[in-house]
Amino acid sequence: MREELILRSLWFEDNSLMIIDQTLLPGEFRIVKLSSCDEVAHAIKTLMVRGAPAIGVAAAYGFYLGIKDCSEGNIDERLDESYELLRSTRPTAVNLFWALERVRGVAITARPAGVDATKVAILNEAHRMAEEDVATNRKIGEYGSTLIKDGFNILTHCNAGALATVDYGTALGVIRAAHEKGKRVHVYADETRPLLQGARLTAWELKRDGIPVTLIADNMAGFLMKQGRIDMVVVGADRIAQNGDTANKIGTYSVAVLAARNNVPFYIAAPLSTVDMSLNNGSEIPIEERSHEEVTTVKGQRIAPEGVDVYNPAFDITEAELIKGIITEKGIAYPPYKESLQKFFND
């Protein structure tokens, strides 16, 4: 019953963070209650909760959970421990660090007012971030849907949907907004090896919404584009450098190169909290490398010989010149990105 009601990937209830365990989808819809900072950190590391905006908000709640039972004698130590633990979970999505800096700043400001005031301030900030994310995604959807014509076939990679955010999604938010406006869209979802976020999560979300979706293996995207069957690509992001170079799920760069080769417009959809203006270009974005087992097994089933060497970067970098536009909550940024993104921050 609850599955039908929930569009949110996470929410706060009973002094705990409630999440949908995304590692079990689509086979099982399980809600997990996280009551400690350690549990939130584990959930982020294992991708029970995942997606740049969702990771950021989950970390903000995890920061609160780390100190919810503290007293004057240990809150300062626990604030530092929670901050460091959560920061260490995943290196690429800048929303994690943006969110932690934001809630730590609130904690520092509130701290002189005492322990209880600090706890309340952190929790309220996490609530604000959660609701801001939903509003942000709807604005991204609004701007992005103007790019979609009735009858468009749209390709997406990985999952940048409600499950990757608090609700509604970024790339899938663009698609949802067009669908809500009555535009007939058909989505081609890359399965997205090795963790299959496209097959397991994007296809599941779109089917639940009644949005036509066709699942493809990653290596089919180029052939679809060459046949002229894709009108537009829209994907999410984990970190965008000031020049527009974008880190996103591994395989995104390949999709962008194929889109350029076939004259298919390629867009990024992301909140400004995913833009890291401190970085000059994508070469400065840390790329997470994950376990060999993610490549050599599928749901625990071995598909490669024991001991084979494995390279498993979780993200790649798409150069700005391959990106037609970056859809944000302030509008669509076009090249030169350093200037157009900075203008959005200044507005």
Ligand X SMILES: CSC[C@H]1O[C@H](OP(=O)(O)O)[C@H](O)[C@@H]1O
Query: How many residues make contact with ligand X (CB under 6 A)?
Result: 16
Tokens of 155: 């390709």
Rank residues 284 and 294 by Cβ distance to ligand X and give the closer one.
Answer: 294
List the one residue from 9, 82, 170, 262 that touches ligand X (CB under 6 A): 170
If one asks whether residue 238 binds ligand X (CB under 6 A), the answer comes out as: yes
In the chain, helix, strand, coil percent, each to 5? 45, 15, 35
If one asks whether residue 194 binds ligand X (CB under 6 A), the answer comes out as: no
Asked if 185 and 152 touch (Cβ cutoff 8 Å), the reply is yes
List the one residue from 249, 267, 279, 328 that touches ligand X (CB under 6 A): 249
Q: Which amino acid is at 300?
A: G
**Where is 258: in which H helix or E strand?**
helix 252-261
Tokens of 256: 């962008």
If one asks whether residue 20 binds ligand X (CB under 6 A), the answer comes out as: no
List the one residue from 8, 51, 133, 213 that touches ligand X (CB under 6 A): 51
Which residue of the set 190, 231, 238, 276 is catalytic? 238
CB of 303 to ligand X, least distance (A): 20
> CA 85, CA 73: separation in Å to the nearest integer?
20
Asked if 93 and 55 touch (Cβ cutoff 8 Å), the reply is yes
* Piece in contact with ligand X (CB under 6 A), picked from 183-191, 206-214, 219-227, 234-242: 234-242
CB of 110 to ligand X, least distance (A): 29
Mark whether 116 is an active-site residue: no
Tokens of 87: 């920061």
* Piece in contact with ligand X (CB under 6 A), picked from 35-43, 49-57, 120-128, 222-230: 49-57
CB of 15 to ligand X, least distance (A): 26
Which CA distances in Å does 127 have to 62, 81, 89, 132, 134?
12, 22, 21, 9, 11
Binding residues for substrate are 50-52, 90, 197, 248-249
**What is the C-alpha radius of gyration for the chain, rounded to an integer number of angstroms?**
20
> CA 156, CA 211: separation in Å to the nearest integer?
13
CB of 182 to ligand X, least distance (A): 25
Rank residues 165 and 243 by Cβ distance to ligand X and give the closer one.
Answer: 165
Rank residues 170 and 296 by Cβ distance to ligand X and give the closer one.
Answer: 170
* Number of Cβ within a 10 Å radius of residue 108: 12
What are the backbone dihedrals phi and psi of residue 33, each rounded to the nearest 5 degrees, phi first?
Answer: -100, 120
Rank residues 66 and 194 by Cβ distance to ligand X and give the closer one.
Answer: 194
Asked if 259 and 267 touch (Cβ cutoff 8 Å), the reply is no
254: Cα separation from own chain's centroid: 19
CB of 267 to ligand X, least distance (A): 12
List the one residue from 141, 144, 198, 236 that touches ligand X (CB under 6 A): 236
Asked if 283 and 104 touch (Cβ cutoff 8 Å), the reply is no
Rank residues 148 and 158 by Cβ distance to ligand X and give the closer one.
Answer: 158
CB of 234 to ligand X, least distance (A): 10
Tokens of 291: 């376990």
Rank residues 52 and 264 by Cβ distance to ligand X and give the closer one.
Answer: 52
Rank residues 53 and 141 by Cβ distance to ligand X and give the closer one.
Answer: 53
* Piece in contact with ligand X (CB under 6 A), picked from 72-80, 232-240, 305-313, 337-345: 232-240
Residue 189 has what DSSP assignment? E
User: Is the Cα torsion angle 247, 253, 259, 261 positive or negative in sign?
Assistant: positive
> CA 61, CA 64: separation in Å to the nearest integer?
5
Contact code string over 126-165 relative to ligand X, x by CB under 6 A: --------------------------------x-x---xx
Tokens of 125: 């900030």
If one asks whether residue 314 binds ligand X (CB under 6 A), the answer comes out as: yes
Question: What is the set of active-site residues?
Answer: 238
Interface residues with ligand X (CB under 6 A)? 50-53, 158, 160, 164-165, 170, 197, 235-236, 238, 248-249, 314
